Amino acid sequence: MNEALQSLVDLLDLEQIDRDIFRGASRPSVVERAFGGQVASQALAAAGRTVPADRAVHSLHSYFLRPGDPRAPIVYTVDRIRDGLSISNRRVVAVQHGKPMFHLSASFQLYEEGLEHQEPMPAAPDPLTLPTAREQVSRYAHLFADPRVIRRMVQVRSAVDLRYVDAPPYGSIGQPRDAKSQVWFRMNGKLDGDLDRPLLHACLATYVSDMTLLDPVLLAHGRGGWAVGDVVGASLDHAMWFHRPFRTDEWLLYDQRSPTASGGRGLAKGRIFTQDGQLAVSVVQEGMIRVPRPRAAAAPEGGGPAQN
Report pTM. 0.91
* Residue, of 207 and 229, whose pLDDT is higher: 207
> For the chain, what is the domain count?
1
* 115 inside domain: no
* 246 inside domain: yes
Q: What is the average pLDDT score of the chain?
A: 89
Average pLDDT over residues 151-178: 85
Alpha-carbon span 93 to 74, nearest angstrom: 10
**102 three-class SS:** strand
Which candidate in 235, 255, 256, 258 is catalytic? 235
- The pLDDT value recorded for residue 138 is 78
Domain with residue 246: its CATH number is 2.40.160.210
pLDDT band at residue 194 using 50, 70 and 90 as cut-offs = confident
Which candidate in 38, 107, 136, 210 is catalytic? 210
- The model's pLDDT over 39-69, given as tens digits with 9 standing for 90+, comes to 999 999 999 999 999 999 999 999 999 999 9
- The pLDDT value recorded for residue 238 is 98
Of 219, 228, 224, 215, residue with least CA distance to 177? 219
* 183 inside domain: yes
Active site residue 210: yes
- DSSP characters for 130-146? SPPHHHHHHHTGGG-S-
Which candidate in 29, 62, 96, 285 is catalytic? 285
Residues forming beta bridges with residue 256, ordered by sequence position: 181, 270
pLDDT band at residue 31 using 50, 70 and 90 as cut-offs = low
- The pLDDT value recorded for residue 89 is 98
Rg of the chain (C-alpha set): 20
Estimate the share of the chain in helix, then strand, then coil, as percent rounded to the nearest 5: 20, 35, 45
Active site residue 285: yes
* 256 inside domain: yes
- The pLDDT value recorded for residue 157 is 77
Identity of the residue numbered 183: V
Domain that holds residue 34: 3-110+127-290
Active site residue 83: no
- The model's pLDDT over 58-109, given as tens digits with 9 standing for 90+, comes to 999 999 999 999 999 999 999 999 999 999 999 999 999 999 999 999 999 9
* Residue, of 172 and 284, whose pLDDT is higher: 284
pLDDT more than 90, % of the chain: 71
pLDDT more than 70, % of the chain: 89
